[in-house]
Amino acid sequence: MSRTSHYLTMRDGVRIAVDVHLPEGHAGPYATILHQTRYFRGVEVKARRLKKLESAFEMVHATRTRFLAAGYAWVDVDVRGSGASFGRRPCPWSPDEVKDGGELVDWIIGQSWSTGVVGATGVSYGGTTAEMLLICQHPAVKAIAPRFSLFDVFTDVMAPGGVPLRWFTDNWNRVNQNLDAATYEQTVSTAVRIIMQSLAAGKADRRTPRWSGLLDKLDRPGVERFIARNVRRLGAGVRPVNGDVEALAAAVAEHLDNYDVQEQADRVEFRDDELPESNEYEHLDSWTAIAGSVDRFSPHSYLDALRGSGAAIFSISGWLDGAYQHAAVKRHLTVGNPGSYLLLGPWEHGGNLQVSPYGATRKAVFDQEEAMIRFFDHQLRGAPRPEWAPVRYYTMGAERWQSSQTWPPAGAEMRKLYLGAGGTLSSEAGRAGVERFVLPEDSTSGRASRWRSYVGPHQFIGYPERAQQTRALPVFRSAPLEMDTEITGHPVATLHLHTEVPDGDLFVYLEEEDAGGAVRYITEGLLRLCHRRLGGDRAPYRSPAGFRSYARDDAADLDMDGPNLVVVDLLPVSYLARRGARVRLVLAGADVDNFGPPRALGAVGVEVGGERASFLSLPVVG
Q: Is 321 annotated as catalytic?
A: yes
Buried b (16+ CB within 10 A) or exposed e, 157-172: bbbbbbbbbbbbbebb
- Predicted confidence at residue 511, as pLDDT, reads 98
How many angstroms separate the CA atoms of 139 and 422, rounded? Answer: 62
Question: Rounded to an integer, what distance in angstroms lies between the CA atom of residue 492 and that of residue 614?
Answer: 11
Reported as a pLDDT band with limits 50, 70 and 90, residue 279 is: very low
**Res 213: pLDDT:** 57
181/75 Cα distance (integer angstroms): 24
pLDDT value of position 212: 57
Closest CA to 495 of 588, 563, 591: 563
From the candidates 78, 152, 321, 377, give the one annotated as an active-site residue: 321
Q: What pLDDT does 615 receive?
A: 98
Bridge-based pairing of strands 2-9 and 15-22 is: antiparallel
Map residue 119 onto helix, strand or coil: strand
Q: What does the pLDDT read at residue 490?
A: 98
Average pLDDT over every residue of 545-570: 94
User: Is residue 307's pLDDT more than 80?
Assistant: yes
Q: What are phi and psi of 237, to 5 degrees?
A: -175, -175
445 is a catalytic site residue = no
β partners of residue 75: 20, 34
How far apart (Å, rounded) are the C-alpha atoms in residues 475 and 584?
7
pLDDT tens-digit series, residues 528-553: 999 999 986 688 999 999 899 999 99
The C-alpha atoms of residue 422 and residue 411 are separated, in whole angstroms, by 33
Q: Which of 85, 114, 124, 189 is catalytic?
A: 124
Residues 6+ apart with CB under 8 A from 526: 160, 161, 163, 505, 506, 507, 508, 568, 591, 595
Q: Quote the DSSP letter at residue 386.
A: P
Residue 554's pLDDT band, with cuts at 50, 70 and 90, is very high
- pLDDT(461) > 70: yes
Query: pLDDT tens for residues 140-199?
Result: 999 999 999 999 999 999 999 999 999 999 999 999 999 999 888 888 888 888 887 787
pLDDT at residue number 202? 76
pLDDT in tens, 509-526: 999 999 999 999 999 999
Q: Is the pLDDT of residue 217 over 70?
A: no
pLDDT, tens digit, 9 for 90 and up, residues 2-17: 899 999 999 999 999 9
Distance of CA 124 to the CA centre of its chain: 7
The whole-angstrom separation of Cα 290 and Cα 259 is 12
Q: How confident is the model at residue 224 (pLDDT cuts 50, 70, 90)?
A: confident
- 134 versus 200: the higher-pLDDT residue is 134
Region 259-269 average pLDDT: 91
Distance of alpha carbon 43 from alpha carbon 53, whole angstroms: 9
* Of 332, 349, 490, 531, catalytic: 349
Angstrom distances, CA of residue 143 to CA of 41, 137, 380, 381, 559? 21, 11, 8, 11, 49
Q: Quick check: helix, strand or coil at residue 403? A: strand
Residue 285: which pLDDT band, with cuts at 50, 70 and 90? Answer: very low
Average of per-residue pLDDT across 259-280: 82
What is the rounded distance in angstroms from the CA atom of residue 43 to the CA atom of residue 41?
7
Contact (Cβ atoms closer than 8 angstroms) between residue 407 and residue 329: yes
Please give the share of the chain, as a percent, with pLDDT higher than 70.
94
pLDDT higher at 256 or 59: 256
In 554-616, where does DSSP find H-type helix? none
Q: What is the assigned CATH class of domain 412-621?
A: mainly beta
Mean pLDDT of 265-277: 87
73-78/30-37 β-pairing: parallel
For residues 208 and 225, the model is more confident at 225
- Per residue in 405-452, pLDDT (tens digit) is 999 999 899 999 999 999 999 999 989 999 999 999 999 999 999 999
Question: 509: closest CA among 425, 622, 391, 428?
Answer: 425
Q: For the chain, what are the domain ranges? A: 2-403, 412-621
Q: How far apart are the first and last CA of the chain?
A: 50
- Name the pTM for this structure: 0.95
DSSP 98: H
- Single-letter amino acid, residue 111: Q
233-251 mean pLDDT: 92
Q: How far apart are alpha carbons 237 and 248 in whole angstroms? A: 11
Q: Work out the pLDDT band at 289, boundaries 50, 70, 90.
A: very low
- Could you tell me if 126 and 40 are in contact, meaning their C-beta atoms sit under 8 angstroms apart? no
DSSP 279-303: -TTTT-TTS--S-S-GGGG-GGGGH
Check if the beta carbon of residue 34 is closer than 8 Å to that of residue 89. Answer: no
Contacts of 397 (CB under 8 A, 6+ apart): 356, 357, 358, 512, 575, 576, 577, 578
Can you give the pLDDT at residue 171?
A: 93
| Fold: same for 2-403 and 412-621 | no
Please report the pLDDT score of residue 220 as a whole number. Answer: 61
pLDDT for 504 beyond 90? yes
pLDDT, average across residues 372-400: 97
Distance CA 282, CA 297 (A): 15
- CA distances to 280, 448, 471, 473, 584 from 514, rounded to whole Å, are 58, 22, 16, 18, 10
Name residue 505's beta-bridge partners. Answer: 528
Mean model confidence pLDDT for the chain: 92
For residues 31-41, give the mean pLDDT. 97
- Residue-level pLDDT at 287: 47
The per-residue pLDDT for 221 is 65
Please check the confidence at residue 496 and state whether its pLDDT lies above 50.
yes
Q: Specify the higher pLDDT residue, 201 or 351.
A: 351
Rounded Cα distance between 545 and 553, Å, is 21
Which pLDDT tens digit goes with each residue over 331-371? 999 999 999 999 999 999 999 999 999 877 688 899 999 99
| C-alpha span between 109 and 97 (Å, rounded) | 19
| 604-613: average pLDDT | 95
Q: Is 427 a catalytic residue?
A: no
Task: Rank 228-242, 251-265, 302-316 by mean pLDDT and report only the highest.
Answer: 302-316
Residues in the chain: 622
Going by pLDDT thresholds of 50, 70 and 90, the confidence category of residue 460 is: confident
Between 208 and 227, where is the model more confident? 227
Say if residue 221 is preceded by a cis peptide, omega within 30 of 0: no
- Least confident among 97-101, 360-364, 471-475: 360-364
Architecture of the domain whose range is 2-403: 3-Layer(aba) Sandwich (3.40)
DSSP one-letter code for 156: I
- Beta-carbon contacts of 71 under 8 Å, excluding residues fewer than 6 positions away, are 23, 26, 30
Mean pLDDT: which of 32-46, 124-138, 202-216 is highest?
124-138
